[in-house]
Structure 1
Amino acid sequence: MPYRYRLEPQRRTPWERIRDGLAHFSTNSPSRFAVLIFTSIIALWTFLFMLPAASATGEITPFADALFTAVSTICVTGLAVVDMATHWSTFGNLLVFIGIQAGALGVLTLASLLGRVVTRRLGLRQKLIAASDGNPLRTHAGPVSESQAVKLDEVGGILATAAISLVTIQTISALFILPVFLATPGYDTWSAIYDAYYYAASAFTNTGFSHHPDGIMPFEHNIWFLGCLAGTVFLGSIGFPVIFAIVRRIRTKQRLSVHVKLTLVTTVLLFFIGWIVIYLLEFDNPRTLAMDDPWFRPITAGFMSAMTRSGGFSTVDISEMNDATLLVMDMLMFVGGGSASTAGGIKVTTLAILFLAAVAEAKGSPDIHSFGRRIPVDVLRLAISVALWGATIVAVSSILVMQLSGAEFKYALFDSISAFATCGLSTGLTQELPESATYVLTTTMWLGRVGTVTFAASLASRHKRQLYTLPEERIIVG
């Protein structure tokens, strides 16, 4: 009887089993993997914020406050239920700084980077995860135009661009801001450098955190400082794919895609519309713009319009603004910034697609056109889904906040939209909410940062081929 060799199963270490399990999970369910990674980071930061070393007094921060701060930090929101200037120690402020850097990369981009660490390579699926952060249609089962902002073979470049942009733009912005603090009495060189980089990071990540008791109010009339913050917020809000495309355009003269053009045009248009409307509604309000000199009022109005992109900084008391102004800012915050950016909201391209669809319908055109290109119907369906998803989150959150806190509708709506859009602007309601209502805003921030992107990606990736069609029947609409 011949001797038979029996192959013994290769024994794997516990780390290898965990790595293989995560690699399998990230490959078969990228959207859920992204949510798991993002939520795990929030859980870790919550634990770290609860440590006595994280608070200035050496006491344990209550779970609700630690969780809210962790979500606001990782989701780059900027809302706070504690005094960010006095509550946290040096270690706590370091956690905030690192957290906003991690959150700025985005849910899917961060997941793809961690997936590469786990699998030791950036495979096709990881590229799809990363690319879908800039365009969820990348996970679509059907054909995708090669004129997208980021191609699959450029995903490595966009990941590098995201990391390099964080460091480069923040450093340049900090250098521009630095003279402001050096010229301020009481600042030494190292304190000025620290504060300059802190505000540059908070602006580029569109977080809006300030570690000063009065926020940026001491610099409310410093045009240079306000201009640096507004410009940095703008760069953070247009999105890494747009930054990558602009850099590529400068280096190779390659034409800009429709996505880039729509993002830039819509962002600039909304900024000027918000600037004009906020000025017209508030220029004679004695509690807001009318407190400034007449020549400075347009500057304050422009700065507040820029902050609705998701910046979160404010030089006026928002609770004293007119109801009409609050409603305008609600709409601007709900739209937010660009796709795969540090800003939140439903994104400017979503609004642009919905507007172009309305124009096409008014003209009786069967197709949606933009910059000489036809927009596929599935893009419109995705835009509608994201907008409805966002509106539903805001509506439920506002109702619950009003019910649990007894707040007025205009304040509950404003802070709920700010939480969903990860903006950080507040009427002052957030810090006065009972613990039950803070959990509502915590969930709203999480859904706003994670929900719209992953929801869009999951919709696109679940496209099924159907071999038959049902009979068509038109219904009455409108």
Structure 2
Amino acid sequence: MRTRRLRLFRHPAQVVVAGFGLAVAVGTLLLMLPVARTGTDWTDPVTALFTSTSAVCVTGLVVVDTGTYWSTFGEVVILALIQVGGLGTMTLASLLGLAISRRLGLRARVTAAAETKAVGLGDVRGVVLGVARTSLVIEAAVAVVLGLRFWAAYDVSPGRAAYLGVFHSVSAFNNAGFALWSDSLVRFATDPWICLPIAASVIVGGIGFPVILELRKRLRTPRAWSMHTKMTLWATGVLLVLGTVLITANEWRNPATLGQLDTPGRLLAGFFQAVMPRTAGFNSVDTGAMYEGSLLVTVVLMFIGGGSAGTAGGIKVTTFVLLFFVIWAEVRGERDVQAFERRIGERVVRQALTVALLSVGLVMAATVVLVEITRMSTHLVLFEVVSAFATVGLSTGITADVGTAGHLVLVLLMFVGRLGPITLVSALALRERQRLYHHPEGRPLIG
């Protein structure tokens, strides 16, 4: 029996899945307790499971209002699950990278070390401490800013202001998107002292620990940055600018969203709405009232997601950018894929294609299932599915109305979306082997 148990968990990806599954199970049991909600009733298992999964997978989708349904104990449980999920994702993704590097050959390990520069080949303790220290410092700084603002400008007691600051700081840095108000952050849409710290925390948490650590060491020498850091920062900047321009322009005259704000408020809210699809899930305008064009832009941004080994979800910006360079090389007729003066290996290209295509297939399959279950509009269901898979948490308001079967589908999507890309890439890398023969080349017609 012991041998079978060891064989079952011999792959690092299996340990990751088991660990997150255990966290979800414990959170579900705690949230089912009467003390976890207002009133004296037990929480039904599906609601508790959905909320626990959403918190551990740092998604932010909810089927009940967080600030009114859950008691202070329930909110603290949710906060703890968010912290465990966020720290666990960054730590485990980084440690899986170390596990993969040990399984590579000497030349590949040296190359990986030279390229990443952020994580050593065997510094497991350094990775864990670095992730925890970085997370807590950023969360504390943002919590202080938010707490002071809540206390000074919104007539909140110092204790309550500190609690609100901590809760929303942790939720923001871990890209969870849980808020203690039923309208998320709509009431603060024109307050830069609330929106900008939260947006900055979301961006920093979403670029990934390896990038954060490298910037801390080499902020003033961008020429020495690794390709991963350059690719992540470049893509993040481009997507933020494009998202801000497209959403702000499209919603500028929408009386239900930006149209009701003054010009500075429109610009701030437009920027905030472009940051949140990086898988944070807060919203400062009514998402359900946005035009379909804005929802489509948001879906694309959610599907791409943020940086690797961070708190963001999606297929990751590095996967998206890598596929762009693959297309660019093919259009130009070049044999090698190159980016930032580096050649991309064929193995990495195949991994990116695998992650992207499997993600598209999963999203499409889940969308079809939910449309059949709920009979809701396809564009609303697609938005909800991508939000769950990319662990974003934005919703047009249909989450509570999809029924028990729909909730279970979304639970599965959140879990797979959080752990799928990490475990899939690690499994592909750890299974790498060299074939000792080649079949004759075939050339099927394309297009």
TM-score > 0.5, shorter chain as reference: yes
Partner of 1:117: none
Residues 167-246 of structure 1 aligned to structure 2 (within 5 Å): 167-246=136-215
Q: Is the 8 A contact 2:190 2:268 kept in 1?
A: no
Equivalent in the alignment of 1:56? 38
Is 1:148–2:127 an aligned residue pair? no
3-state SS, counterpart of residue 274 of structure 1? helix
The 10-residue stretch of structure 1 (291-300 or 419-428) with the greater mean CA deviation from structure 2: 291-300
Equivalent residue for 2:365? 396
Query: Is the CA contact (8 Å cut-off) linking 1:101 and 1:166 kept in structure 2?
Result: no
- Does 2:266 correspond to 1:294? no
User: Do structure 1's residue 386 and structure 2's residue 355 form an aligned pair?
Assistant: yes
Q: Calculate the TM-score normalised by the size of structure 2.
A: 0.94
- Conserved 8 A contact 2:189-2:265: no
CA offsets, 1:188-245, max 9 Å, x none?
Answer: 1111111111111110000110112333222121012111111010010000111111
Contact between 1:137 and 1:460, CA under 8 Å: does it hold in 2?
no
How far, CA to CA, are the matches of 2:19 and 2:150 in structure 1? Answer: 37
- Distance in 1 between residues matched to 2:92 and 2:329, nearest whole Å: 37
Q: Which has the larger radius of gyration?
A: 1
2:254 to 285, 297, 318: 285
Q: Separation in 2 of the partners of 1:42 and 1:143?
A: 36
Report if aligned partners of 1:34, 1:108 keep a CA contact under 8 Å in 2: no
Deviations 1:47-103 (A, max 9, x none): 111111211112111111111011100000000011111111121111111100110
Seen in structure 2, the aligned counterparts of structure 1 residues 75 and 320 have a Cα distance that, compared at 3 Å, is same
Question: Match for residue 403 of structure 2?
Answer: 434
**What is the alpha-carbon distance in structure 2 between the residues aligned to residue 108 and residue 164 of structure 1?**
12
1:406-445 alignment runs, 5 A limit: 406-445=375-414
**Deviations for 1:127-185, whole angstroms, at most 9, x for unmatched residues?**
5x2536xxx67755682422232231344322211111121000011122222111134
Distance 2:415 2:102 in 1: 23
Distance (whole Å) between structure 2 residues aligned to residue 111 and residue 384 of structure 1: 19
Once structures 1 and 2 are overlaid, which stretch shifts more, 395-404 or 149-158? 149-158
Paired residue secondary structure (1:105): helix
Q: Which residue of 1 aligns with 2:71?
A: 89
- Aligned CA distance change for structure 1 residues 388 and 138 (closer, same or farther; 3 Å): farther
56-65 or 247-256: which moved more? 247-256
How far does the alpha carbon of each residue in 1:294-319 deviate from its partner, in whole angstroms, 9 at most, with x for none? 33212211110011111111011111
What count of residue pairs does the alignment treat as equivalent? 442
Taking the aligned partners of 1:137 and 1:329, their CA distance within structure 2 comes to: 35
The answer to whether 1:131 aligns with 2:98 is yes
Displacement of 1:22 in angstroms is 6.8
Local SS of the residue matching 1:230: helix
Q: Give the aligned residue type for 1:293.
A: D
Give the whole-Å Cα distance in 2 for the aligned partners of 1:384 and 1:409. Answer: 26
Question: CA 1:393–1:170 in 2, change beyond 3 Å: closer, same or farther?
Answer: same
Could you tell me how far apart the structure 1 residues matched to 2:102 and 2:372 are? 40
- C-alpha contact (below 8 Å) 2:98/2:122 kept by paired residues: no
Find the residue that maps to 1:86 and give its secondary structure: helix
Which is richer in helix?
2
Bigger mean CA deviation after superposition, 204-213 or 329-338 = 204-213
Residue 69 (structure 1) aligns with: 51
The 3 A distance-change label for structure 1 pair 137 and 274 is: farther
Quick check: 1:77–1:424 contact (8 Å CA) kept in 2?
yes
Tell me the equivalent position of 2:335: 366
1:254 CA drift (Å): 9.3
Q: Distance in 2 between the 1:79 and 1:323 partners?
A: 20
- Distance in 1, Cα, partners of 2:309 & 2:66: 27
Secondary structure at the counterpart of residue 374 of structure 1: strand
- Offset from partner CA, 1:235-288 (integer Å, 9 cap, x none): 100001111111222599992110011001101110000001111211111221
How far 1:46 sits from its partner (Å)? 1.0
CA distance in 2, matches of 1:22, 1:260: 38
Give the aligned residue type for 2:130. T
* 1:185–1:292 distance in 2 versus 1, CA, 3 Å: closer
Asked if 1:316 corresponds to 2:285, the answer is yes
1:38·1:111 contact (CA, 8 Å) conserved in 2? no
Q: For the residues of structure 1 that align with 2:135 and 2:123, how far apart are their CA atoms?
A: 18
Deviation at 1:109, TM superposition (A): 2.9
Contact map agreement 2:385 2:410 (CA 8 A) in 1 = yes
SS in 1 for 2:347: helix
Letter paired with 2:425:
A
Partner of 1:455: 424
For the pair 1:405 / 2:374, whether they are aligned, the reply is yes
* SS at structure 2 position matched to 1:193: helix
Match 2:307 to one of 338, 343, 350: 338
* CA RMSD after TM alignment: 2.2
Q: 2: distance between equivalents of 1:271 and 1:137?
A: 32
138 and 260 in structure 1: CA distance in 2 versus 1, 3 angstrom threshold: farther
For structure 1, list consecutive stretches of 5 or more residues without a partner in the other structure: 1-16, 113-126
Distance 1:431 1:137, change over 3 A: farther
After superposition, the C-alpha distances for 1:91-133 in whole angstroms (9 at most, x for unaligned) are 1111111100110024483499xxxxxxxxxxxxxx5x2536x
- What residue ranges of structure 2 are gaps of 5+ in the alignment? none
Matched, 1:35 2:17: yes
Distance in 2 between residues matched to 1:56 and 1:215, nearest whole Å: 19
Secondary structure at 2:153 match in 1: coil
Task: Assess if the C-alpha contact under 8 Å between 1:50 and 1:61 holds in 2.
Answer: yes
Go from structure 1 to structure 2 and tell me whether the alpha carbon gap of 1:154 and 1:269 turns closer, same or farther (over 3 Å shift). farther
Look up the match of 1:119.
none
**Is the CA contact (8 Å cut-off) linking 1:226 and 1:303 kept in structure 2?**
yes
Out of 99-108 and 365-374, give the one that drifted further.
Answer: 99-108
Structure 1 residues 408 and 344: CA distance shift in structure 2, 3 A: same
Return the alpha-carbon distance in structure 2 between the equivalents of residues 199 and 108 of structure 1.
19
Contact 2:57 2:418 in 1 (8 A): yes
Distance 1:201 1:256 in 2: 28
Aligned residue for 1:207, secondary structure, equals coil
